A = this chain, B = another copy of it.
């Protein structure tokens, strides 16, 4: 049994309470009960709570805008984000447009630094270097993917960890992995996942979490962040045999795989919480139009889970708001406002 004091401390503050790493022999052998559990069966018309993200995103953006407005009036300064774009990929342009609009709405100055597809690695490093040195720049995002002739690792490692608002620098990932350490930034998708869970009152401490997909931008950092929140995390990937055996024992299932409907209803434990971070476009055979969908077969999972994110409108909108929040945090640190 945990000491009384620890057992009472069930509220999760952001980044998780740094509780002592003490292994206490447990005499509790009672079966696991879910906080968010449902006693209804899949056949009784049960439908999960929909974990809608748009209103949370709006709330975060409002808060960020308020803080920036106060910052401007108090010290006459504001956050500045630089997006570095190499080449002319349409999908990159689309993503940058979304970020541009979001930044402008909350009062973050955003500059898009464009380099031609055939620029050299040295030229790109020089550009990043100038932003690293520029005290007026608080966040640097190098839009991925980069052209083949440029070494992505060298570029990403070169971004100052103190301006790495995407949180992908190995120093930030390392400090996220080590409990008690404080990374400058945590990747937006992982922060969005935690925010959604906490916002809907889902307890994380002591829960079993299955994360499907171990990408460095979503699965890996999300596993590290949920571990900090004292979840017991299993990280599943392409080489996992019978992944449904693990997911069907998890209280929380997080997916970022990139295959529509890979996670079926029978992968989910009754009453579990499902966070679908996937985004896939599939063709409707009836009208040949594309539909966006996640990794989870929503129609099946919604009958089993106690709560589930929709795609679109779930985790997606929160991710962008986390980029804004990270940029604001960076500016506050630079202005000594923490």
Instruction: Report which A residues bind B (CB closer than 8 A).
Output: 2, 21-26, 28-29, 32, 153, 169-175, 177-181, 205-206, 208, 213-216, 220, 224, 227, 230, 232-243, 245-246, 249, 257-259, 262
C-alpha gap A181/B154 in the complex (Å): 10
A179 touches B214 (CB 8 A): yes
- Given A173-B174, A232-B240, 8 more A-B residue pairs with CB atoms under 8 Å apart are A2-B239, A173-B173, A173-B177, A206-B240, A227-B237, A230-B237, A233-B234, A245-B249
Nearest-neighbor residue (CB-CB) of A152 within chain B: B180
- A28's partner among B178, B232, B241, B258 (CB-CB below 8 A) is B241
Q: Give the distance to chain B from A267, nearest Cβ to Cβ, in Å.
A: 13
The residue in A173, A180, A220 that gathers the most chain B C-beta atoms within 10 A of its C-beta is A173
B179 touches A216 (CB 8 A): yes
Nearest-neighbor residue (CB-CB) of A230 within chain B: B239
B177 touches A177 (CB 8 A): yes
- A262's partner among B23, B179, B213 (CB-CB below 8 A) is B23
B258 touches A23 (CB 8 A): yes
C-alpha gap A213/B24 in the complex (Å): 11
Q: Please, which residues of chain B bring their CB within 8 A of the CB of A21? A: 214-215, 237-238
Given contacts A170-B181, A262-B25, contact A237 B232 (CB under 8 A): yes
A177 touches B174 (CB 8 A): yes
Q: List 26 A-B contacts (CB under 8 A).
A: A2-B238, A21-B214, A23-B213, A23-B237, A23-B258, A23-B259, A23-B262, A24-B238, A25-B259, A26-B241, A32-B242, A32-B245, A170-B171, A171-B171, A171-B174, A172-B174, A178-B216, A208-B240, A227-B235, A230-B239, A232-B235, A232-B236, A232-B237, A232-B241, A233-B235, A245-B249
The residue in A241, A245, A246 that gathers the most chain B C-beta atoms within 10 A of its C-beta is A241
C-alpha gap A171/B233 in the complex (Å): 22
The residue in A153, A205, A206, A234 that gathers the most chain B C-beta atoms within 10 A of its C-beta is A234
B170 touches A238 (CB 8 A): no
Q: Give the distance to chain B from A7, nearest Cβ to Cβ, in Å.
A: 10
Q: Give the distance to chain B from A246, nearest Cβ to Cβ, in Å.
A: 7
Q: Give the distance to chain B from A224, nearest Cβ to Cβ, in Å.
A: 7
Nearest-neighbor residue (CB-CB) of A32 within chain B: B241
